[in-house]
Amino acid sequence: MEMNPRVTLALDFLENTGTNVFLTGKAGTGKTTFLKYLKEHSPKRMVVLAPTGVAAINAGGVTIHSFFQLPFGPLLPGMTNREEAGAPRVSRFGKEKIHLIRSIDLLVIDEISMVRADVLDAIDEVLRRFRDRHRPFGGVQLLMIGDVQQLAPVAREEEWALLGKHYESVYFFHSKALRETSRVTIELETVYRQQDPRFIDLLNRVRENRADEQTLRALNERYLPGFVPDPREGYITLTTHARQASEINERRLEGLPAATRVFPAGVKGDFPEHSFPTERDLVLKQGAQVMFVKNDSSPAKRYYNGMIGEIVNVGEEAIEVREKERNELLRVTREEWKNTRYAIDEKSKAVVEHVEGTFKQFPLKLAWAITIHKSQGLTFDKAIIDPHAAFAHGQVYVALSRCRGIEGLVLSSPLHAAALKRDETIERFVEKITGPGKEELERARAGYYKSLLLEQFDYGVLFQRLDTFYHRASEHLYRLYPAFVQRYRETRDRLAMELIEVSARFRGQLSRLADAAADPATDTLLAERVEKGRAYFEEYSAGVIAPLLDEELPDTDSKEARKILEKAREELIEEFRVKTGTLDAARGGFSVTAYLDARAMARIPETASKRTARKKAPAREKAPAKAPAKETAPATRPSDDVLHEELYDALRAWRAREASKAGVPAYAILQQRALVGIANALPRSRDEMLDVPGVGKIVVERHGRKILEIIDTCYPRE
């Protein structure tokens, strides 16, 4: 990729700042090439999305709606989080998707010009829900790639009737969430598709609504009434409607004398039909004009997406195509496209693309005609365009700019000013665009470093997670396990008085030092303070917070209560992992890259076989006794609330076995409060058992003898 100043500036903003970037540029300026380079070289964890299936496949990503599980149709503000019956909302997310969303640093949206404002706001709602609800897009950085002068988003009349009450326009830049963010616009200026300065100037005039009479006159020199192309030259007709393209292709195919051949595609797994890059049943003939719909995957790179050729021989396993530009004969075999979803690799914890399904077919489609919409991103040497039928902003520009040179362009009808649809909303937006300079980049770089540094030593979220779990535990566990709940209360109060106050003062010091430094990343005094703070908070975390999380979550008979407690505790432990993991990464100096990597890793729990939120507390020394029967599940009991732990473990194991035999929940054999009560009271008779809360006559009649046997086994009478 050519590293011109605009490309370098964009890469700097994306790698070294958290600023949102709108990367734009005329047709043929290398936006797609930039995205490919970014995917291969960026140190940030990213996900690439696009508004349509074909655009997503071409960008090597997934569609916006599938990744965020958004319903189709208008997405009114707040709709994705509504709970009332009948409200369309996002589907329930699995843990893997949630961990993925929480771990990414950069969200790339290609073809942003076709994304509606309400869709961008729905993305914001989902990201806030699973990341940081106080920051636009949950705090993730956005890269939006596209050209607002090209194809616009689609909103039918009935859809706009709803959306128009909330939005100034359908365009992405009127998203409510985007307006809350800071962003820079970087425009790529070097045009690679066209080389003729005169043609480039004419295209720019059309794109920027500056097409005067002289411009129209120059373009209309390419209006050739009754033009009939030589089939050997490979002209393609660009139409405004799909029906027109289909009719032309079918008519031209029927006019060929050769026999028709049908090639079914090989579709495996999940590959939606709307994402097919060519027909499932590809109908071809010798002599048919075709377009390649994929770059050659072989090292030879013989063909590219958009190349025009003619079929000269049709075989079962290969098709020979003579490409029109160099008159070269190419042997074409089937190519494979992948429908991917993003996932997290279990070993490396990196964001990887997991193949959901594949589509295998010859990389060809009939190409006497194609719609302007599907031509976006393609390049043609020779094209026929009917500008008279244009009905939307940007259509004429997209069509004209597909051509490599003006000599290969033919107009089938004269180009009039009326066909150049103006959109005042776009014009006002473009007028306000100003590109950033190096000073703005340096400010953003320093601000990004400072914001992440202060985030490193901010313990507010951890305190909130601890407070939430304390309240959940107080509600559901206090009656059975008062000592367990009390420890959380004492730790919470201690953090409020010590950790939060110290953290606030320390971050104030760091903020002042960062502001005074010429470059915070290399400032010696700031680095010394960071290391002292790191050592202090690491020691505090290990001595005060970690022991609390070493304890097992106690048992409860209520599945719903257990679910609530586990969720609150998982969120607490995850945040603790983030703080300790990033502190460890700051050993020897704070680095943005190291911090982002450590934070992302900490957001992703270990695989099920290795999963543990904390080191297990060492077992206490106990009086010699017979070993209880082997348990079917690990014991979970807070030691301070259970006086006789061996008995508790033995009773719990027995209860699990009995419940398994009877096919009933464990509490149907013996309630949890009864189990804890027996383990504490150590009853020696049936009458003493009846004095234990939760133990009734039925329990004594059914299980009294066995319970007393277990007690005597664990604690023999003298």
**How large is the average pLDDT for residues 573-596?**
93
pLDDT for the residue numbered 502:
95
Query: DSSP labels for 458-525?
Result: --HHHHHHHHHHHHHHHHHHTTT-HHHHHHHHHHHHHHHHTHHHHHHHHHHHHHHHHHH-SSGGG-HH
Nearest residue to 586 (alpha-carbon basis) of 545, 544, 546, 526: 526
> According to DSSP H, which parts of 74-212 are helical?
95-103, 117-130, 157-163, 176-179, 197-207
Collapse the DSSP code of 530 into the 3-class scheme (helix H, G, I; strand E, B; otherwise coil) and give the result. helix
**Torsion, CA 640, CA 666, CA 561, CA 68, rounded to 10:** 120
Number of neighbours of residue 158 by Cβ within 10 angstroms: 9
Residue 74 contacts residue 163 (beta carbons within 8 Å): yes
pLDDT for the residue numbered 474:
95
Residue 131 clears pLDDT 60, i.e. is over it: yes
Question: Lowest-confidence range among 134-138, 356-360, 628-632?
Answer: 628-632
| Dihedral sign (CA 434, 437, 441, 442) | negative
Token pair recorded at residue 211: 């097409």
Residue 614 clears pLDDT 60, i.e. is over it: no
Residue 96 contacts residue 107 (beta carbons within 8 Å): no
Question: Lowest-confidence range among 357-361, 363-367, 600-604, 614-618?
Answer: 614-618
**How large is the average pLDDT for residues 314-319?**
92
Q: How far apart are the first and last CA of the chain?
A: 85
Q: Which CATH superfamily groups domain 639-714?
A: HRDC domain (1.10.150.80)
pLDDT for the residue numbered 452:
96
Collapse the DSSP code of 559 into the 3-class scheme (helix H, G, I; strand E, B; otherwise coil) and give the result. helix
Question: Which pairs with CB-CB distance under 8 Å and at least 24 residues apart come from 197-204?
Answer: 198/406, 199/403, 199/405, 199/406, 202/400, 202/406, 203/26, 203/27, 203/397, 203/400, 203/401, 204/26
Question: Lowest-confidence range among 68-82, 175-189, 610-624?
Answer: 610-624
What are the φ/ψ torsions at residue 34 (nearest 5 degrees)? -60, -45
Query: If you search the block for the tokens 């086994």, which residue do you land on?
Result: 713
Collapse the DSSP code of 681 into the 3-class scheme (helix H, G, I; strand E, B; otherwise coil) and give the result. helix
**How large is the average pLDDT for residues 101-121?**
94
Residue 13 contacts residue 186 (beta carbons within 8 Å): yes
Please determine, looking at this structure, whether the domain spanning 5-192 carries the CATH number 3.40.50.300.
yes
What are the φ/ψ torsions at residue 532 (nearest 5 degrees)? -65, -40
pLDDT for the residue numbered 27:
84
> According to DSSP H, which parts of 586-696 are helical?
592-603, 645-662, 666-669, 672-681, 686-690
Question: Lowest-confidence range among 12-16, 29-33, 623-627?
Answer: 623-627
pLDDT for the residue numbered 623:
35
Residue 582 contacts residue 541 (beta carbons within 8 Å): no
Summarised one tens digit per residue, pLDDT across range 387-420 is: 877 777 788 888 999 899 999 999 999 998 888 8
The CA distance from 306 to 324, in Å, is 12
Question: Lowest-confidence range among 487-496, 577-586, 601-610?
Answer: 601-610
The CA distance from 488 to 485, in Å, is 5
pLDDT for the residue numbered 80:
62
Question: Lowest-confidence range among 308-317, 431-440, 494-503?
Answer: 431-440
The CA distance from 476 to 464, in Å, is 18
**How large is the average pLDDT for residues 329-343?**
88
Query: DSSP labels for 46-76?
Result: EEEEESSHHHHHHHTSEEHHHHHTPPSS---
Token pair recorded at residue 187: 């425009």
**How large is the average pLDDT for residues 284-288?**
93
Q: Which residues pair with 303 in a beta bridge?
A: none
**How large is the average pLDDT for residues 118-129?**
94
Question: Lowest-confidence range among 148-162, 236-250, 435-449, 470-484?
Answer: 148-162
Query: Interior CA angle at 359 toward 253 and 104, to 5°?
Result: 130
pLDDT band at 91 (very low <50, low <70, confident <90, very high): low
Helices 559-585 + 524-540 axis angle, to 10? 150
Count each helix (H run) and each strand (E run) in the chain, helices first: 27, 20
DSSP tag of 214? H
pLDDT for the residue numbered 422:
77
Residue 628 clears pLDDT 50, i.e. is over it: no
Summarised one tens digit per residue, pLDDT across range 39-50 is: 999 999 999 999
Residue 473 clears pLDDT 60, i.e. is over it: yes
pTM of the predicted structure, to 2 decimals? 0.77
Residue 538 clears pLDDT 60, i.e. is over it: yes
Name which residue leads in pLDDT, 150 or 597. 597
HEC string of 363-424? CEEECCEEEHHHHCCCCECCEEECHHHCCCCCHHHHHHHCECCHHHEEECCCCCHHHCCCCH
**How large is the average pLDDT for residues 701-711?**
92
pLDDT for the residue numbered 621:
35
pLDDT band at 59 (very low <50, low <70, confident <90, very high): confident
Residue 156 clears pLDDT 90, i.e. is over it: no
The CA distance from 337 to 470, in Å, is 50
Residue 630 clears pLDDT 60, i.e. is over it: no
**How large is the average pLDDT for residues 170-193?**
92
Name which residue leads in pLDDT, 423 or 91. 423
Distances (CA, A) of 384 to 206, 235, 247, 394, 403: 17, 7, 15, 17, 10
Question: Lowest-confidence range among 453-467, 503-517, 528-542, 598-612?
Answer: 598-612
**How large is the average pLDDT for residues 340-357?**
76
Residue 89 contacts residue 80 (beta carbons within 8 Å): yes
Percent of the chain with pLDDT over 70: 92
Collapse the DSSP code of 143 into the 3-class scheme (helix H, G, I; strand E, B; otherwise coil) and give the result. strand
- Distance between alpha carbon 421 and the CA centroid of its chain, in Å? 35
Residue 577 clears pLDDT 90, i.e. is over it: yes
The CA distance from 268 to 270, in Å, is 7
When mean pLDDT is compared over 3-17, 77-91, 345-359, the highest value belongs to 3-17
Give 663's contacts (C-beta < 8 A, 6+ positions apart): none
The CA distance from 621 to 626, in Å, is 14
The CA distance from 48 to 46, in Å, is 7
Summarised one tens digit per residue, pLDDT across range 351-387 is: 777 888 999 999 999 989 998 888 877 888 899 998 8
pLDDT for the residue numbered 624:
36
Residue 328 contacts residue 250 (beta carbons within 8 Å): no
Q: Which residues pair with 268 in a beta bridge?
A: 358
b/e burial code for range 666-699 (CB count within 10 A of at least 16 → b): bbebbbbbbbbbbbebebeeeeebeebebbeeeb
pLDDT for the residue numbered 606:
60
25: left (phi over 0), alpha (psi -120 to 50) or beta: left
Burial of 157 (0-12, 13-18, 19+ CB in 10 A): exposed
Burial of 530 (0-12, 13-18, 19+ CB in 10 A): buried
Q: What is the mean pLDDT of the chain?
A: 87
**How large is the average pLDDT for residues 669-676?**
89
Token pair recorded at residue 233: 């030259």
pLDDT band at 303 (very low <50, low <70, confident <90, very high): confident
**How large is the average pLDDT for residues 244-259?**
93
Query: DSSP labels for 222-254?
Result: GB-TT----GGG--EEEESSHHHHHHHHHHHHH
